[in-house]
Amino acid sequence: MKRIVLFILTNLAVMLVLSATLQILGVNRFLSQQGLNVQMLLVFSLIVGFTGAIFSLLISKPMAKWSTGATVIDPQAPNGPREAWLLDTVNQLADRAKIGRPEVAIYEGEPNAFATGAFRNESLVAVSTGLLDSMTEEEVTAVLAHEVAHIANGDMVTLTLIQGVVNTFVVFLARVVGYFVDRVVLKNDKSTGPGYYITVVICEIAFGLLASLIVAWFSRRREFSADAGSAVLLSSREPMMRALARLGGLTPGELPKSFEASGISGAEGLAAMFATHPPIPARIRALQEMRVA
C-alpha cells in the first residue's frame, strides 16, 4: 500500500505545484482571456496531468527508499545468510517471471513488502523486518512472488497512465468550473478575477480526492492479479493463502472456510472506497477459486 500512497501524494503535489507555477507565469490568465477554448485547455490539462504522474513514477524508487529507510542489499556481499537467501529468492523469481533482477532491500517496520520502479527491468523489491521475523520462508517467498508479479504485470506503468488520465480530467474540469463561477456566478466579464483562481484550487483538491477513488479501485484489482501471479510463479496457491492468512491474524493453516465468521475484514464504508488493497478474506477466496496448472 505504501508505494501507491506515495505515488498518489507525490503526483498530487507535483500537479498542484506545476499548476501554481503556470498560474504565476500567467498561463491560466491567458487561457481565460481566450474565453473557454476547449482545445487549448485540453492540451494544457494533458501536459499538467501527465507531467505529475510521470514524474511520480520516475522518482518512485528513491522516494520509496527514503520514506522507509530501506537498505539495499549488496548483491556481491550480502550481510549474513538471511540477506543471501532473500537476494537469491528474488533473483530466482525474477528469472521465472522473465524480468530483470530487481534491487532487493530491507527496512524496519511492521509486516509488509512492496515493489516499485519506473521500469520492469530496473525495479525495487523491499521487505520489512517485521515480515521476515513473523513468517516462514515459504510464506515470505509467496509475498516476494506477489511483488515480482506486480513488476512483471507492469502495474506501476499502468497506474501512471490511469493517474495521468484522471489528472487530465481534474485539471480540465477545475478550470471549466472556475470559468463558470467567475463569468456566470460572479458576473466578471472584464478579466480573470480571484473567484476563478480560488475555485480552481478548491476544485483541483476536491476532484483530486475523487479521482483517487479510481486509482484505489485499480490498485485493488491489481492485488488480485498479483496474488494469482504468486500462485503461478510458485506453481501452488497454498503459500500465498497461508501468507495472507498470517497477515490477517490467523494461525498457520487456519484458512477460513466461512469468511463472514472469520473475524477478518477490510475497510468498511467510505474507507473501503479509498483502500488500495482488497479485504484479505476476498483475496484468499479468489485464490481458492483459481486453478493453478
Q: Cβ distance 70 to 83 under 8 Å?
A: no
Is 223 annotated as a binding-site member? yes
CA torsion angle 251 106 237 269 (round to 10):
70
Helix, coil or strand: residue 72: strand
Interatomic CA distance for residues 52 and 230, integer angstroms? 31
- 83, 139, 147, 204: which is the annotated catalytic residue? 147
What is the Cα–Cα distance from 60 to 136, expressed in whole angstroms?
29
CA 130 to chain centre: 21
Residues 256 and 288: beta-carbon distance below 8 Å: no
Residues 6+ apart with CB under 8 A from 211: 166, 167, 169, 170
> What is the residue-wise DSSP string for 225-259?
HHHHHHHHHHT-SHHHHHHHHHHTTPPTT---SSG
C-alpha cell at 45: 490539462
- Contact (CB, 8 A) for 220 and 275: yes
Strands 124-128 and 103-107: parallel
* Residue ranges in the chain assigned as alpha helix (H): 2-24, 27-33, 38-58, 60-68, 81-97, 129-134, 137-152, 155-180, 194-234, 238-247, 270-274, 280-289
Which three three-digit cell numbers place residue 52?
505529475
Q: Is 204 a catalytic residue?
A: no
Detail the residues annotated as belonging to a binding site for Zn(2+).
146, 150, 223
Catalytic residues: 147
Detail the residues annotated as belonging to a binding site.
146, 150, 223
